[in-house]
C-alpha cells in the first residue's frame, strides 16, 4: 500500500512541476490552465451533484420501505400485543375482584366463628376453671378443718 501512495505522490508532484514550468515559459498557458481548471471543477461539481441526488433517492427509498414494513408487520403485531395486554389486565381485574370477595368472606367467617363458636367455648372454659377453682378451694378447706 505504501508503494501506491509513493506512486500517487510522484504523479501529483510531476503535474505540479509541469504546471509551474508551463506557466513560467508561456503566459498563455496560465489562461488555458485557468480555463481547464474551471472546466475540471465544474465536471467534479456535476458528478458530486449527481451522487448527492442518487444518495437522496436511495434514502427516500429506504424510508418508504421502512414505512411499508412497519405498516405491514410491526403495527399489526403491536395491535396483537395490545389486545393480549388488555386481556391480561381484565383477568387481573377479575382476580382482584375475586380476592376482594374472598377476603370479605374470610372476614365474615372469622367474625361468625368468633361470635358463635369461640365465645361460648371461652365462656364454658372460664366457667369450668371457676368450678375447678371453687372445688379446689372447698377441697382445701375440708383438709384444713380435718387437721
Enumerate the H helices of 26-74 as residue ranges: 27-69
Q: Tell me the three cell numbers of residue 93.
A: 381485574
Question: How far from each other are the two terminal CA atoms of the chain, in whole angstroms?
Answer: 128
pLDDT at 62: 96
Work out the pLDDT band at 59, boundaries 50, 70, 90.
very high
CA distances from 54 to 42, 44, 71 (A): 18, 15, 26
Cβ–Cβ under 8 Å, residues 1 and 12: no
Q: Does the pLDDT value for residue 147 go beyond 60?
A: no
Give pTM, 2 decimals.
0.45
C-alpha cell at 69: 414494513
For residues 103, 109, 112, 117, the Cα torsion angle rounded to the nearest 10 degrees is -140
Percent of the chain with pLDDT over 90: 27
Asked which of 51-55, 64-68, 127-131, 136-140 is least confident by mean pLDDT, the reply is 136-140
The string of pLDDT tens digits covering residues 72-112 is: 888 888 888 888 998 988 898 888 888 888 888 888 888 88
Round to whole Å and give the CA distance between 4 and 35: 30
Under 8 Å between Cβ of 43 and 33: no
R_g of the chain computed on alpha carbons: 52
Using pLDDT thresholds of 50, 70 and 90, give the confidence band for residue 121: confident
Tell me the C-alpha distance between 17 and 19, whole Å: 5
Residue 64 has pLDDT above 90, yes or no: yes
Amino acid at each position: 500500500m505504501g508503494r501506491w501512495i509513493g506512486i500517487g505522490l510522484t504523479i501529483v508532484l510531476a503535474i505540479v512541476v509541469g504546471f509551474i514550468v508551463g506557466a513560467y515559459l508561456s503566459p498563455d498557458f496560465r489562461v488555458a490552465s485557468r480555463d481547464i481548471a474551471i472546466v475540471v471543477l465544474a465536471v467534479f461539481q456535476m458528478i458530486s451533484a449527481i451522487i448527492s441526488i442518487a444518495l437522496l433517492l436511495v434514502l427516500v427509498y429506504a424510508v418508504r420501505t421502512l414505512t411499508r414494513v412497519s405498516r405491514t408487520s410491526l403495527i399489526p403485531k403491536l395491535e396483537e400485543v395490545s389486545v393480549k395486554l388488555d386481556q391480561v389486565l381484565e383477568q387481573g381485574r377479575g382476580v382482584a375482584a375475586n380476592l376482594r370477595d374472598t377476603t370479605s368472606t374470610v372476614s365474615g367467617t372469622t367474625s361468625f366463628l368468633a361470635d358463635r363458636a369461640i365465645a361460648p367455648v371461652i365462656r364454658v372454659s372460664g366457667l369450668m376453671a371457676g368450678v375447678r377453682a371453687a372445688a379446689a378451694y372447698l377441697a382445701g378447706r375440708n383438709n384444713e378443718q380435718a387437721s
